[in-house]
Amino acid sequence: MTHRPNPLLPGFHPDPSVVRVDGVYYLVTSTFEYLPGMPVYRSADLAEWEHIGNVAERPEQVAVGKAATGGGVFAPTIRYHDGLFHVIVTVVGSGRGCVVFTAEDPAGPWSDGRTIDGVDGIDPDLVWDEDGTAYVTYSGLRLSGEEAGKHYGIEQVRVDLAAGRALEPPRSLWSGTGLRYPEAPHLYQHGDYWYLVIAEGGTERGHAVSIARGASPAGPFTGHPANPLLRASGSAQPVQNTGHADLVETPEGGWALVLLGVRPLGEAQAFSPLGRETFITDVTWSEDGWPVLSPVRLAPRTTTETAVFTFDDEAALDDPGWLAVRTTPRSHCRMADGHLVLLGGHAQLDDLQPVFVGRRQRHLNATVATTVALSAGTGGLAARYDEHHHFGLAVSTAAGTTLVTAWGAVAGLRQEWCQTYSAGPVELVIEIRTPTGPAAVSDRIRLLANGTLLAELDGRHWTAEACASFTSRIIGLHASEGAVRFTDLRYTGWETPSGTA
């Protein structure tokens, strides 16, 4: 077994898809309501990854401005053909539907995208046969019309990518063993067969990988007799919800699956603070030509990651890891006198487009800090899972004093803790700590201002299992009123000493 760090991409990185081009790997993941959409990562060894850009840098590319929580950018697939990188994706709740983006350089810029009419579903895959015919294979979940919500299993159409249309009515392929939500299909030609890899069982604890094969990309397909071939449900495996897999050849000449999973904490494996992350596992081939999938092992990186962003010029926002909700980070920000200024417009984190710019929480233990300068507004440091689940600290100044309010919001319930300081800059800190041992249920969250603890929260309320969305924790800067000035954002993250929760 080849030893690589696992997760490959920690934190909010669900639905991974990977392609190898000239010995270099490129990987994309889902982003749902966040912009920029679909981060692009590059690796030379399938182990260490650099975030080189994002597919959707411009709001019009995915039009998620009014997409509901749980909608937006679903499950992209990245492929390479005839000198072009292609990313095919379904954008739910935007009117764009199934869209194909192209680029000569995966770092961007990417095209505005072409909608493919006749593909009514999610999780599209793109492949070409030996004659150059393009096939889109997808999960037949109807998104609109009288059949909205009905699921027709795995479907496929031949497509004209230039014209943006299907060339035939959808046909059913193979939809697994009968578990719910057959989805995330990917097709590969290997040896004498075309292999169809799908997910089934739902993206929660029942998530599984099943595989079939046939003589052509259109089938017919015969399922492996031992399907599902990979499933963590009911086991003590530290990585659960394993599924949504993409097959790739490794630098050593072997094979691997890149897939999503979660890291639930404690003996009960109940809560996963970092949501759905990108993992990898080894694949071998049996004598009769079937892939053999290894269980997903846990091997977090042991180094401490530190990132410090100061706001001396506009280049501070050039880092591709910044995120905003349903709009771009730069739409909220301006630079002034060494500060990042957020202009609040009375939008709260409960709203569809809060004034919020953040970054993924990537470690089970993290300290995130900022200094808020004397400001004519209200804002501070916050962590968002979705509109209904967030926590943080807000600073407001009036009559020569500074009020800091810490809060936690869970499914419409909100509790606050307040502390008054003399006027002046305030350092806000979010400390996230994960205890070890079987008694650990979730992490603990401490909210501090100028070194004073205002509140300590139970992190289980902001996890994949407690929140309805498909996202994860994003931690960053926010403003609800007026102009709020920040001097920096500092992130330090690390895993537990033993590498397990």
Q: What is the pLDDT of residues 415-447, one digit of tens each?
A: 999 999 988 899 999 999 998 777 778 999 999
pLDDT at 171: 96
d(CA 476, CA 356) in angstroms, rounded, equals: 7
**CATH number, domain 305-494:** 2.60.120.200
Please give the average per-residue pLDDT across 291-314, as a whole number.
Answer: 94
- Return d(Cα 110, Cα 198) in angstroms, integer: 27
pLDDT in tens, 325-353: 999 999 999 999 899 999 998 889 999 99
Res. 405 pLDDT band, cuts 50 70 90: very high
Average pLDDT over residues 243-255: 97
Q: What is the pTM of this model?
A: 0.96
Tokens 């990186």 map to which residue?
301
Would you state the pLDDT for residue 500? 39
CATH 2.60.120.200 residue window(s) in the chain: 305-494
Is 183 marked active-site? Answer: yes
Annotated catalytic residue: which of 123, 183, 246, 443?
Answer: 183
Buried b (16+ CB within 10 A) or exposed e, 291-305: bebeebbbbbbeeee
**pLDDT interval class at 76 (50, 70, 90):** very high
pLDDT of residue 152: 93
- pLDDT for residue 314: 81
The H or E element spanning position 61 is helix 59-62
Token pair 């009960």 in the structure block, residue = 268
Peptide bond before 435: cis, by omega within 30 degrees of 0?
no
**309, pLDDT greater than 60:** yes
Specify the domain boundaries for CATH 2.115.10.20 within the chain.
17-230
CATH architecture, range 17-230: 5 Propeller (2.115)
- 3-class SS shares of the chain: helix, strand, coil, % to 5: 5, 50, 45
Q: Over 295-310, what HEC string results?
A: CCCCECCCCCEEEEEE
CB 285 within 8 A of CB 213: no
pLDDT band at 498 (very low <50, low <70, confident <90, very high): very low
Count of Cβ atoms closer than 10 Å to residue 135 Cβ: 19
**What is the token pair recorded at 332?**
């909220």
User: HSE (CB half, 13 Å, CA atoms) of 489?
Assistant: 23
The whole-number pLDDT of residue 2 equals 66
| Per-residue pLDDT, 469 | 83
| 15, 123, 277, 443: the active-site residue | 15
**What's the average model confidence in pLDDT over 485-501?**
79
- Specify whether 204 is catalytic: no
Q: Identify which of 285, 293, 284 has the alpha carbon closest to the alpha carbon of residue 245.
A: 293
Region of poorest pLDDT, from 3-7, 147-151, 474-478: 147-151
> Average pLDDT, stretch 252-259?
97
The HSE-up count of residue 20 (CA atoms within 13 Å, CB side) is 18
Each residue of 109-164: pLDDT tens digit?
A: 999 999 999 999 999 999 999 999 999 999 999 988 888 889 999 999 999 999 99
Rounded average pLDDT over 217-238: 96
Answer for the pair 387, 349: CB distance below 8 angstroms, yes or no.
yes
